[in-house]
């Protein structure tokens, strides 16, 4: 970070990155209050610390959101109101997202937790297909995997590239590609060795 008109720069390594739009909204509201002179600098600092330490959405709410997202995106992408696959996609998406969050606690390698979550999704989709042969594995997995697809990272990478920030754009694009590769690889491994 550096400021215009000055020769002082500050660098800090960020180990855990997350896209939390709720946090961005809270900090944005605080910056608007500061710009309107409703709060002073010490109060702004104190409130930013409170926002940073405030709990986010509880895990059960995130899992329910992943279930709803998986089921609705399955319908959107497959253009098929297949009510048999609808609950299957919701279940696989919810369990896969929960597995991703749980494995992320134990490993610093983000792509490993995505690979394992994709494998869990693949196993669960195969299990549902085994229980009910009318369930289509492709439909279920397409909806369920959307909860972990790095869409925002890919969008930010393209924005950076178009704005001329080549280094950050290439790094973000590479990171999004590794995430997509981990998701596809996890499902592919399960379908190759278990689904055969």
pLDDT-derived band of residue 1, with 50, 70 and 90 as boundaries?
low
Of the candidates 92, 100, 180, 95, the one whose C-alpha atom is nearest the C-alpha of residue 136 is 92
Query: What is the per-residue pLDDT for 100?
Result: 93
Q: Is residue 138 within 8 Å of 125, Cβ to Cβ?
A: no
- Alpha carbons 84 and 59: distance in angstroms, whole number: 27
- Alpha carbons 116 and 46: distance in angstroms, whole number: 39
Averaged pLDDT for residues 176-196: 87
Query: What is the per-residue pLDDT for 51?
Result: 86
3-state SS track over the chain: CECCCCCCECCCCCCCCCCCHHHHHHHHHHHHHHHCCCCCHHHHHHHHHHHHHCCCCCHHHHHHHHHHHHHHHHHHHHCCCCCCHHHHHHHHHHHHHHHHHHHHHHCCCHHHHHHHHHHHHHHHHHHHHHHCCCCCHHHHHHHHHCCCCCHHHHHHHHHHHHHCCHHHHHHHHHHHHHHHHHHHHHHHHHHHHCCC
Averaged pLDDT for residues 50-67: 87
Q: Residue 196 pLDDT more than 60?
A: no
Of the candidates 80, 121, 130, 85, the one whose C-alpha atom is nearest the C-alpha of residue 103 is 121
What does the buried/exposed string (b/e) look like for 62-74 if buried means 16 or more CB atoms within 10 Å of the residue's CB? bbeebbebbbbbb
More confident site: 66 or 14: 66
Query: What is the per-residue pLDDT for 195?
Result: 67
pLDDT in tens, 45-56: 998 888 888 777
Averaged pLDDT for residues 165-188: 90
């Amino acid at each position: 970070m550096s400021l215009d008109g000055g020769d002082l720069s500050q660098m800090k390594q960020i180990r855990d990155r997350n896209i939390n739009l709720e946090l961005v909204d809270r900090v944005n509201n605080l910056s608007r209050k500061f710009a309107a002179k409703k709060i002073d600098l010490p109060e702004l600092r104190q409130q930013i610390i409170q926002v940073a330490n405030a709990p986010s959405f509880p895990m059960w709410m995130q899992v329910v959101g992943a279930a709803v997202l998986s089921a609705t995106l399955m319908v959107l992408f497959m253009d098929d109101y297949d009510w048999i696959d609808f609950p299957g996609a919701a279940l696989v998406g919810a369990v896969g997202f929960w597995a991703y969050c749980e494995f992320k606690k134990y490993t610093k390698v983000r792509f490993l937790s995505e690979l394992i979550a994709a494998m869990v999704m693949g196993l669960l989709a195969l299990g549902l297909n085994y229980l009910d042969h009318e369930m289509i594995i492709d439909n279920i997995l397409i909806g369920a995997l959307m909860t972990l697809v790095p869409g925002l990272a890919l969008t930010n990478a393209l924005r950076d590239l178009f704005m001329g920030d080549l280094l950050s754009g290439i790094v973000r694009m590479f990171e999004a590609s590794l995430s997509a590769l981990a998701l596809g690889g996890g499902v592919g491994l399960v379908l190759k060795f278990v689904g055969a």
